Amino acid sequence: MSALLEVSGVSVSFDGFRAIDNLSFSIGHAELRAVIGPNGAGKTTFMDIVTGKTRPDTGTVRWGRTGRSLLRMSEARIAREGVGRKFQRPTVFEDQTVADNLMLALRKDRGPLAVLVFRPTAEDRDRVAGLAGEIGLRAALDRRAGDLSHGQKQWLEIGMLLAQEPRLLLVDEPAAGMTLAEREHTTELLKEAAKSRAVVVVEHDMDFVRRLDCKVTVLHEGSVLAEGSIDHVTRDDRVIEVYLGR
């Protein structure tokens, strides 16, 4: 099966520092992948390249079954193509309800006139209720987002991304600051999402990565150091030396 995302030979430097060095990475159309590595390994820059925020100096980034170049697209176009990104800190509309946040995120025509005349349909309301159920917030639909716990805000933001029907979801350190119960729910949420789309999770917490039970890519100095199951990469002497430190 062809890859959904194919990064080949990508390099980028900032003021003489090689942040990404001949990086190659691919992920399938419905796959969960964890990306780990020490600070400065290139994890954030990798996501910046895929979303169009940073343009590499060399290499290719191919997308979809026809292998179109993401490097020729704007950030907005890449988002419309189905690349969604969740940053570490949740960004939700805190003064709006959970239902309103999800409704605002639905994949719709977002032109000025369309926004002005938008009225939610029964189908829209059903979709919002379904999303709330997926993320574990069905009972909180009428609650103000600002009143949610940190973990619930993370789930709401994931739900808002799912509302946009992405084909690839990039998630940055979703387990940070969560309780054990919240982490367990987040694990199941990401696993479920990956049944119908590609999900890349950048994470430092090795216990959380192990719970994801997926292929792991280890980055170091801007390139892939090791790749495989969590047991495979944690036994790799190079990974132990540069990242695990034991």
Domain ranges of the chain: 5-244
What is the per-residue pLDDT for 115? 47
Distance from C-alpha of 3 to C-alpha of 7, rounded to nearest angstrom? 10
What is the per-residue pLDDT for 8? 96
Distance from C-alpha of 85 to C-alpha of 53, rounded to nearest angstrom? 11
Superfamily for 5-244? P-loop containing nucleotide triphosphate hydrolases (3.40.50.300)
Distance from C-alpha of 18 to C-alpha of 32, rounded to nearest angstrom? 28
Residue with tokens 């940073």: 54
> Any alpha helices (H) in 58-204, and if so which ranges?
75-81, 98-105, 112-117, 122-135, 150-163, 180-193
Residue with tokens 């691919």: 26
**What is the pLDDT tens value at each position of the chain, 246 positions in all?**
479 999 999 999 998 889 999 999 999 999 999 999 998 899 999 999 999 999 999 999 999 988 999 999 999 999 999 999 998 777 899 999 999 999 998 876 555 554 455 677 888 899 999 999 999 999 999 999 999 999 999 999 999 999 999 999 999 999 888 899 999 999 999 999 999 999 999 998 899 999 999 999 999 999 999 999 999 999 999 999 988 775
Residue with tokens 């609650």: 143
Backbone angles phi, psi at 113, to 5 degrees: -70, -45
What is the per-residue pLDDT for 119? 74
What is the per-residue pLDDT for 87? 83
What is the per-residue pLDDT for 117? 55
98-105 and 150-163 helices cross at what angle (nearest 10)? 30
What is the per-residue pLDDT for 16? 86
